[in-house]
Chains A and B, each alone.
Chain A
Amino acid sequence: MIKIENLEKIYRTEEVQTKALNNVSLAVSEGEFVAIMGPSGCGKSTLLNILGLLDEPDGGRFAFAGTEVAKASERRRAELRKQHIGFVFQSFNLIEELTVFENVELPLIYLGVGAAERQEKVAQVLEKMQIMHRRNHFPQQLSGGQQQRVAVARAVVNSPRLILADEPTGNLDSSNGNEVMELLTELNETGTTIVMVTHSEHDARYAHRVIRLLDGAVVLENLHQPFTA
């Protein structure tokens, strides 16, 4: 699914060069659940952004679903992104002017899905996330847990092959956090690949594999049995 080799990312200001990623290589197979961990500033988010085709690497190779994308155009990356990738953020990143339903509907609109099919799909996924009763509410009328469920719903509504989650439980209390982790696990079990950045050892245990980063480099990869509660 994902194969990166010697990936580099450098941030430059006028005086300082910072290597955010230094020769990072890793592979994620179809159906895997991978957690990326490491201290603040270690390059986790940079890596996730590159994996999500939101950012470009400065060096190295990156194959996404078999195609090389390290130097792909913005248009091509946007195309792949909307077809194959769903995002879940720590701060939910829902659009405040849109209702729950409309937020979830948005990726389908950009994909050019017809209205009737959108209705059906959104309804389906909202049912699954158990927030159908909130469909006409605006994000600020929901609790944090509910907002993150909407965000997950939005991430999966177009059945992406890959979900990238950036500290998805970071803004949630533990019970809401667990709920979200359960959701992700269920998605993984139905075949969706998940890459998750997290600070939480607890959350990381839901993953098949943990990649630890330090100062922009992979320091450790350890496999463990999927966590089952």
Chain B
Amino acid sequence: MFKNYFLIAYRNVVRHKGFSFLNIAGLALGLTACLLIGLFVYDEQQYDQFVPQGEQIYRVGTQRLQGETTESTPMSPPMFATSLQQELPEVEKAVRIMSLQSKNLFRVGSKSLYEEHGFFADADLFKVLHLPFRYGSAAQALAKPSSIVLSEAMAERFFGPINPVGQQIKLDTSTFQVTGVLRNRDLKFHLNINFLLQLSPAVIGIPEKRMQSWGWRQFNTYAKLRPGADGRNVAAKFQHYLEEKVKPQLAKDNIEYTAFFQPLREVYLHSADFKINWATHGNITYVRALSVIAGFILLIACFNFVNLATAKSMQRAKEVGIRKTIGASQPQLMLQFLAETVLLTLISVVLSTVLTALLLPSLNRFTGKSLSFDLIANPGLLALLLGLTLVVGLVAGFYPALVLSSFKPVKVLKSTVVTDGPLGRVQWLRHGLIVVQFALSVFLIICAIVVFQQVSYLHNKNLGFNKDQIMFFPMRGDSMTKNYEAFKNELSQAPGVASATIGYGFPGDMVAGDQIIVPINGEPKKFSVTQLLVDYDYLKTLGLQLVAGRNFSKELKTDKDQAFILNETAVRDLGFATPEKALGQTLQWNIWNNKNPDSTKTGKVIGVVKDFHYKSLYDKLEPAVLQIFPDAYWKVAVKLKGENLGAGVESVKQVWSKFSPNYPIEYKFMDDNFDEMYQAEDKLKTLLWTFTGIAIFVGCLGLFGLATYAAERRKKEIGIRKVLGASVSDIVALLSKEFLALVLVAAVIAFPAAWLAMSTWLQDFAYRIDLPLWAFGAAGLAAAAVAFLTVGYQAVRAATANPVNHLRAN
């Protein structure tokens, strides 16, 4: 029996090539999109799943209320781990890590390379996060201050494919001994660990006392709870402890935060809007959006199936009549039609498997992942595909099978036109499905436009400074840092260089947050601000605009130790009303000085610069204080002249090698750096456009099929109308009107949904476009135009055919 079903199914596929093509192509494309998205989403969800007992592990971060929004960061003070361990019996172990942040020069023999992604970690790290080791063992890996654990990649770079445990490696001037190599090449772990050093004051180079701090939030804390302990209870207990013991102490420094426990399994996907996060992270919003789009596309493809199959039912009606007359029962016929759908689906699945395998390398390049699609190595995937075939086949095939198998043989065998009861309903259903398809398409088009606009805005918004043609790099080596003035002078005079500035706190780079003290009525009041530690040429190099007062001046000796420049936000936040009124106000700052932590710098505001975005547009402008502070002269920004960038870079390199021949220069361009901040959005934009395109295309395949059948069905009517004097445009209008009306209904449904989705998305950005109303109109028009073109082709063909042929045929 089934052999017969599949035989018939196969012959039908071959016989109705156009119909089969529309169905198979649509479904194969839709499935491919789904598979690709599915592989990506699955991979994103695998992060940190390998960690044993991961459900007992939490990352303990801090958050505070900023206006109406909660600002969260994984950063925590060193005392978190200490107190969690000591005060809460539910905590089995709490450990800290701290990022080295900058790139560091390592040497083995004559080989020297910069390495980044280094962390300091408590010796017990592996008791909480069991990372797999390739060489060495976790137990003693971070036992000594001289221990270093390497990633597989870094170990290979320095030691080749051998076991390097016991070997020595130099970091700047200190020597470390390799105690282990992590097996982490394709490890889905939220920390991209390249090397690990012991976290101890001696190794970090800080006074012991700083590890007692509650305010210095420079760590990530991981707590492993005892089996059975409830994360929420422990979090509440810890919060209570903080309120009682720590809050009063923090209040003195005007610091306020609460702790929050983030389950390890959520760390990767649920941290996208966290401030200061070294961990690699995905974005649950994008994962969800992509999943929804995948669902949309599959739905559209399934609807095509239902639509085309029911539209074509008239051709199959006679066959149904014959089969029933001969003795087929309705269940048998349903089975037959379902078998056909499942066969078509199977062909589509096979095709989409091939397509997926072909497209996967591109997706991998695009996402930087190494997704694999190996059916042989992964029988689960094969089972999933077969399951998908059955589910899609049955879902898409059920209704057409029901309709077709319910035809009454008496009616379909005699008459040429079937006007059975169900067909009226089928018409409704078909229209309903088209509306849903177009609503989904219009929704996606609007989203794509809005995302495109916002992303362009991010890239092109005037940031308040000129980020073009600025290269920046950290200084390296004693002869450079000690002679920074000479280095800067030579840079400034080098050919192709417009100006150079040295400091800490360049746009797009790390900036320091610290307090500034305003004496109000003799009472010192502390404010959290961004400290931009600069030199005399900062404003000039970055092209900042002064709105009041003046720039730092070398001529005035007091500017070095007694002058501050504010940004406009700082003027407001510190309570100075206007930039003019801010001038001359007194500010105090606790100087960064390890030897004398209590020394204070007191000075006056000499100028106010126009606000500029030194962070990404995700972040609201913060109050910033600019001051001269040579102790933090760690980085250099060089503005190159426009004519010949290459020559400018070359001359900077020459000056560099004069001062620091032992270190290679590692530079970046500031505008590239800003562009990198929006990579996630850029990718979202590309993905959205791609998948919107696919969704629309798949939908059009179905619409094209329907239009073909509509034209076919109405051949005689068109013939009569033409004989009676209808023009081609009348006929085209007649045939297109129906579909355009459906698009209109679809748009009405899609608009509010898209409006809601996009306003929610935009809210994540501190700086965003207004929801562009024209996007709605454009999406509606685009959908209508696509529908018109798709239907119009068939309409014109039907309208220009010789009416006599159709009339005779009937």
A residues sitting closer than 8 Å to B (CB atoms) are 45, 49, 52, 54-55, 74-75, 78, 81-83, 87, 89, 93-98, 102, 106-107, 109-111, 154
Contact = CB atoms under 8 A, between A and B. Distances in A.
Contacts of B4: 102, 106, 109
In the A-B complex, list the 4 residue pairs whose CB atoms are closest, starting with the nearest.
Answer: A82-B327, A110-B327, A97-B11, A107-B326
A128 to B, nearest CB: 19
A81 B410 CA distance: 14
Nearest to B325: A87
B410 A54 contact: yes
A107 B327 contact: yes
A135 to B, nearest CB: 15
B493 interface: no
Contact of A52 (B7, B318, B325): B325
A96 B319 CA distance: 8
A97 B15 contact: yes
B322 interface: yes
A82 B332 CA distance: 13
A83 B329 CA distance: 13
The binding surface of chain B is classed by DSSP as: helix
Contacts of A107: 326-327
B321 A95 contact: no
Contact of A97 (B8, B326, B409): B8
B265 interface: no
B413 A89 contact: yes
Interface string B98-128: 0000000000000000000000000000000
A74 to B, nearest CB: 8
Given A89-B413, A97-B8, A102-B7, A78 B327 contact: yes
A54 B414 contact: no
A87 B323 CA distance: 11
B417 to A, nearest CB: 15
B229 interface: no
B281 interface: no
Given A45-B414, A95-B323, A102-B7, 15 more contacts: A54-B409, A55-B408, A75-B329, A81-B325, A83-B327, A87-B325, A93-B318, A93-B322, A95-B319, A96-B319, A97-B12, A97-B319, A106-B326, A110-B332, A154-B326
Interface string B450-494: 000000000000000000000000000000000000000000000
A78 B330 CA distance: 9
B1 interface: yes
Contacts of B321: 93
A136 to B, nearest CB: 13
B224 interface: no
B96 interface: no
B715 interface: no
B328 interface: yes
B332 A93 contact: no
Contact of B328 (A54, A94, A110, A154): A110
B685 interface: no
Contacts of A52: 325
B430 interface: no
Nearest to A84: B327
A111 B410 contact: no
B455 to A, nearest CB: 52
B639 interface: no
Contact of A95 (B322, B330, B408): B322
Interface string B402-423: 0000001110011000000000
Given A54-B409, A54-B410, A93-B318, A106 B12 contact: no
A209 to B, nearest CB: 25
B16 to A, nearest CB: 10
Contacts, number: 61
A31 B328 CA distance: 26
Interface string B318-344: 110111111111101000000000000
Contacts of A98: 8, 11
Contacts of B7: 102
Contacts of B325: 52, 54, 81, 87, 93
Interface in B492-542: none
A54 B321 CA distance: 10
A132 to B, nearest CB: 21
Nearest to A107: B326
A43 to B, nearest CB: 13
A45 B325 CA distance: 14
A214 B324 CA distance: 29
Interface in B7-22: 7-8, 11-12, 15
A219 to B, nearest CB: 23
A81 to B, nearest CB: 6
A82 B333 CA distance: 14
Contact of A78 (B11, B329, B410): B329
B61 to A, nearest CB: 66
B804 to A, nearest CB: 25
Nearest to A154: B326
Contact of B324 (A78, A83, A102): A78
Nearest to A157: B326
B594 to A, nearest CB: 88
Nearest to A87: B325
Contacts of B329: 75, 78, 110
A106 B324 CA distance: 11
Contacts of B330: 74
A216 B701 CA distance: 49
18 contacts: A55-B410, A78-B327, A78-B329, A82-B328, A83-B327, A87-B325, A89-B413, A93-B321, A93-B325, A94-B322, A95-B322, A98-B8, A102-B7, A107-B327, A109-B1, A110-B323, A110-B328, A154-B326
A87 B319 CA distance: 14
A199 to B, nearest CB: 15
A87 B322 CA distance: 9
A220 to B, nearest CB: 25
Contacts of A81: 325, 327
Contacts of B413: 89, 93
Contacts of B15: 96-97
A139 B582 CA distance: 97
Contacts of A110: 323, 326-329, 332
A98 to B, nearest CB: 7
Contacts of B327: 78, 81-83, 107, 110-111
A102 B8 CA distance: 10
Interface in B283-339: 318-319, 321-330, 332
A102 B1 CA distance: 12
Nearest to A80: B327
Contacts of B8: 95, 97-98
A97 B318 CA distance: 12
A54 B327 CA distance: 10
B177 to A, nearest CB: 77
A110 B324 CA distance: 10
Interface string B1-40: 1001001100110010000000000000000000000000
A74 B406 CA distance: 11
Nearest to A111: B327
Contacts of A94: 322
Contacts of B328: 78, 82, 110
